Amino acid sequence: MTDEKHAMTMKEFDLKVATFLALFANAQPGVVRKVAPKDLSDPKNQAEVDEAKRNLLKLMAIGGMAALGGGGAVVGALQYLQPPMVGLPAYPKVQLLYEDGTPVVTTSYRYNYTDKGQIIFDYPLTNEPNMLLNLEYPAPNGIGPNKTIVAFSAICQHLGCIPPYISYYPPGECPGWNEDKGFIHCTCHGSTYNPYVVATANGGGAAIITGPTVLPIPQVILEEDASHYVYATKLIGPPVKGHFNTLTGGNGVSSSVKTSSPLTPVQSCPT
Ligand code: FES
């Protein structure tokens, strides 16, 4: 009985590995992919799965050694055990559209913050929300006539809270904070981020003003074309919270993405 149960478990595990291998075979940028696992009755596919399992065991062994030294590689190895349903081999370049399908145009940006509206779009995966902001001052990597249009991950880097609990606070909303230039704040546990300062560690992103987060929030690098249409091209900074890699762990996006209708954020000034 125990052997039978064990055999079932190994078979299920092989199927997971086979799904993982199929996922990354011939992947195309920006293409939503749903894959079936490779046919394990084919000895060639079974050999590929066995090879992948050997590599996985090596990774876990390395992770175990790192853990003895206080490292976190075991966490990475365990996340590797949960293959993503869909992933992307590289960042796609996708155009941003408003919720009604019309293009976002930098010279006639539709929203401001007088009504505290918050615009969200998914990129590069459909479970990776980002906030599109038109700041009051020129900002690093900003686009548009005043270099004020920027975008950041809307997943807090502390424990992963998403809108409406994390949002942008415009100047004057919380006097004295970030010299009244505006900031990003997560009401879950109080982390704040500075959209005007690129973090020097972790590959960039909005620098931390206050914890408990220990990582900056990733920034979406935007581009505009000659018609002033807006495109998301990649993220800089650490992986989005909860994902081993920003390009894996969820669903893909197509060649364009729509922003949300403005959401009303839950806001209270940090203390
Ligand atoms: Fe944002 Fe904790 S999840 S501060």
Give pLDDT tens digits along the chain (271 positions): 444 444 445 555 555 555 544 444 444 333 333 445 555 655 555 555 555 554 544 444 444 444 444 444 444 444 444 444 578 889 999 999 988 899 999 998 877 665 566 789 999 998 899 999 999 999 999 999 999 999 999 999 999 999 999 999 989 889 888 888 999 999 999 999 999 999 998 899 999 999 999 999 999 999 999 999 999 999 999 999 998 889 988 778 877 788 887 778 888 899 8
Tell me the CA–centroid distance for residue 45 and ligand 1, in Å.
Answer: 43
188 lines ligand 1 (CB under 6 A): yes
The sign of the dihedral angle between the CA atoms of 80, 86, 88, 91 is negative
Q: How far is the CA of 186 from the centre of ligand 1 (A)?
A: 6
Q: Are 104 and 96 in contact (CB under 8 A)?
A: yes
Residue of 206, 74, 87 whose CA lies nearest to 140: 206
Copy the structure tokens of residue 104: 């976002």
Work out the number of other CB atoms within 10 angstroms of the CB of residue 125.
Answer: 23
Sequence-separated (6 or more) residues with CB below 8 Å from residue 60 = 74, 77
pLDDT at residue 259, as a whole number: 81
Q: Tell me, what's the pLDDT at 190? A: 95
Q: What is the pTM of this model?
A: 0.69
CA nearest neighbour of 169 among 118, 108, 237: 118
| CA-159 nearest atom, ligand 1 | 3
How far apart CA 51 and CA 72 sit, in angstroms, is: 24
- The per-residue pLDDT for 25 is 46
Instruction: Please name the amino acid found at residue 201.
Output: A
pLDDT at 147: 96
Dump the DSSP string for 75-116. Answer: HHHHHHTS--SEE-SS---EEEE-TTSPBPBGGG----STT-
CA-closest residue to ligand 1 atom 3: 159
Strands, E assignment, the chain:
86-87, 94-97, 119-122, 129-134, 149-153, 166-169, 183-186, 192-198, 206-210, 219-224, 230-236, 248-250, 256-258
Cβ of residue 221 lying under 6 Å from some atom of ligand 1: no
pLDDT value of residue 261: 75
CA dihedral 258, 262, 263, 265 (to 10 degrees): 120
Best mutation site among 153, 155, 188, 266 for ligand 1 pocket (most ligand atoms within 8 Å of CB): 188
Q: What does the angle CA 245 – CA 214 – CA 148 come to, to the nearest 5 degrees?
A: 75
Residue 17 is predicted with a pLDDT of 52
Cis status, amide bond into 103, omega within 30 of 0 = no
Distance CA 202, CA 237 (A): 5
What pLDDT is recorded for position 209?
96
Contacts of 108 (CB under 8 A, 6+ apart): none
